[in-house]
Structure 1
Amino acid sequence: MGIDLPLGRDAAAVRRRIEAMEHVLERSFVIPGINRPVGLDAIVGLIPVAGDIITMAMGAYIVWEARNLDMPKWKLWRMAGNVAFDSVVGAVPVVGDAFDFLFRSNTRNLGIVRRHLDRHHPETRIIEQ
């Protein structure tokens, strides 16, 4: 596929894996006409029950990877709360599908991880163009 993700537990490797998962879940495709990026979270979430469970598990993977960075427990709980909130509201038929399109818990969690890494592991910082 051309994606080469590192396997280590170092901060740079974890950051790249979390960024890749967030991209897949939140920004994989662009909806033509409105140029709105969507990912598997919104698409798979259209499948009743199973889709919400799958996207919740994928969001929980980001929290698990953040645990490998020895992040404070309160940040991990906040990230888990984002995933849980997204999953609970996303499970509501029709309204939840629209909510998944607008509320990006994985992007929020990536922001928490990035702020932590930029402060505690500045060597992992990537200058975005």
Structure 2
Amino acid sequence: MRRITPDQVNDFARMMGGDRNDPASVRRRIEALEAVLERAFIVPGINRPIGLDAIVGLIPVVGDLLAALMSAYVIWEARNLGMSKWHLARMGANTLVDTAIGAIPLVGDLFDFAFRSNTRNLRIVRRHLDRHHPSSAVIEGEITGRAR
């Protein structure tokens, strides 16, 4: 197994559109992950979006743990932004509730469909970014400001 160096990670982050800790880049990564986890597909007939979180949650135990790991990435990115322990704890609680109830057969699958922990966590991160890093705000796909 080949090991990836920190320089390779930084090169990949620059290639993907920014420094790995740049608030605008973090916002883009978190928004993209939230879209995949919560709204990647539309359920025919009811026109309700679902994502990988609900789909992999159908796999007993392993699916819920995998979804929790993907959700933990959002919390890790938030920690790298320097968010407060209170906000990180709220995000962790959202993920924990989603994982714990999501592990219950049938009831948990319906809960995953309704309780969107990643969307809630994205909302917390956006509020932080809008308050502390306003240059990362995006309007219709365009970054409104640049870091000084």
Per the normalisation by structure 1, the TM-score is: 0.93
Deviations 1:32-53 (A, max 9, x none): 1211000000000000000000
- Separation in 2, partners of 1:48, 1:61: 21
- Separation in 2, partners of 1:103, 1:46: 15
- Report how many aligned residue pairs link the two structures: 126
- Separation in 2, partners of 1:88, 1:6: 35
Unpaired segments ≥5 residues, structure 2: 1-15, 142-148
What is the percent sequence identity of the aligned residues? 64
Residues 1:66 and 2:78 are matched in the alignment? yes
Q: Is the 8 A contact 1:28 1:39 kept in 2?
A: yes
Deviations 1:14-67 (A, max 9, x none): 111111110110000011121100000000000000000000000011000100
Unpaired segments ≥5 residues, structure 1: none
Q: What residue is the counterpart of 1:118 in the other structure? A: 130
- Separation in 2, partners of 1:22, 1:5: 18
Q: Displacement of 1:121 after TM fit?
A: 0.5
Q: Displacement of 1:81 after TM fit?
A: 0.5
Residues 1:11 and 2:23 are matched in the alignment? yes
Q: Please identify runs of 4+ aligned residues in structure 1 that moved more than 3 A.
A: 4-7
Q: Displacement of 1:128 after TM fit?
A: 4.3
Q: Displacement of 1:6 after TM fit?
A: 4.2
